[in-house]
Amino acid sequence: MSDRLPELGWMRIFAEVARLGSFSAAAAVLGLTQPAVSYQIRRLEEQFGVALLRRQHRGVELTAEGERLFQVTAKTVGDIDALARSFGTEAQRPVVRLRTDYAFSALWLIPRMHGFRLLHPETDIQIVATQRLEPGFGDDADVVVVFGTKAEFGTIGSLLLQEKVVPVCTRGFLDRNGPFDDPQQLAKAILIHLDSPTPSPWFDWRSYFAEFSVTRDLHAGRGDVSFNTYSLVVQAALSEQGVAIGWMGLVDTLLSTHMLVEAGPPLEAPDRGYWLIPPRSANVDSERLSTWLVDEVGRT
């Protein structure tokens, strides 16, 4: 017997001949000629070195060896057909592309994604997260959630999450280093910073203290730590490294479960926050995602 079998097409040819018991019937199903089917079966028998079919006056029947081979090929061909159908189904599933930043995707969106999947199991979501969205951020997205001001996005989007912040830390850190009854005391604590441009496009510790007319002593910042992504800021707060600025909407769950506690008075910026930018070419799937985002914010 040769170590090399004919290409995989032989399995389908053999399976159809065995199933239908006829070269002619198999040829009609496969779109081949009867001689071509007969030739392929003859080559297959030569490769295996055994007779697989008994030629009869009206069709063919399987030998014992042919029956064993048919059990294998029928399952394999069936599995391949089922896989091909699944590929076709997956290719037809709608995909909505959502572009946003790391903080929103990690702390707000991902913990709630199961809710959208339960409502719309037929729709797939592709989340594209970056540190900051650059000009042209919506060119390759169906839906965009971007942080900014009303002057920047008010004419093209709707305010999804208004910027509201409150200092946060763990109960353990607060008990050991507090209390922080007012911003003046808080200014003496170890703080966790998010790196940002100057001036910051969101509340940072400098602008937070400025709102309360508090000037931080130059020596108070010893031991402070800073990160370039907000997810790491939150993780550092959870690890009791200091006090962080908590964005409401992003740290709500951590506060409600008491993994973090409030450590100072809140602030808000009415015209600043996360904006929902609709797609340039709306479709039913992007509309569903946009509606769900608005409803989820309202619900929570």
CB 169 within 8 A of CB 251: no
Token digits for 101? 């930043």
Q: Please, how many CA atoms are within 13 Å of residue 276, restricted to the half-sphere of its CB?
A: 17
pTM, entire model? 0.67
The distance of Cα 192 from the centroid of its chain, to the nearest Å, equals 28
- Using CA atoms, how far apart are residues 6 and 33, in angstroms rounded to an integer? 18
Name the region of 49 (left: φ>0; alpha: ψ -120 to 50; beta: rest). left
Q: What is the per-residue pLDDT across 268-283, written as a single tens digit (0 to 9) for each?
A: 999 999 999 987 777 8
Tens-digit pLDDT profile for residues 78-101? 777 777 666 655 556 778 889 999
Is the preceding omega at residue 167 within 30 degrees of 0, hence cis? no
Is residue 142 helix, strand or coil? coil
Q: Cα separation of 263 and 170, whole Å?
A: 9
pLDDT for the residue 91 = 54
For range 111-139, the mean pLDDT: 78
pLDDT in tens, 160-200: 999 999 999 999 999 999 889 889 999 999 999 999 887 88
Residue 300 pLDDT more than 90?
A: no
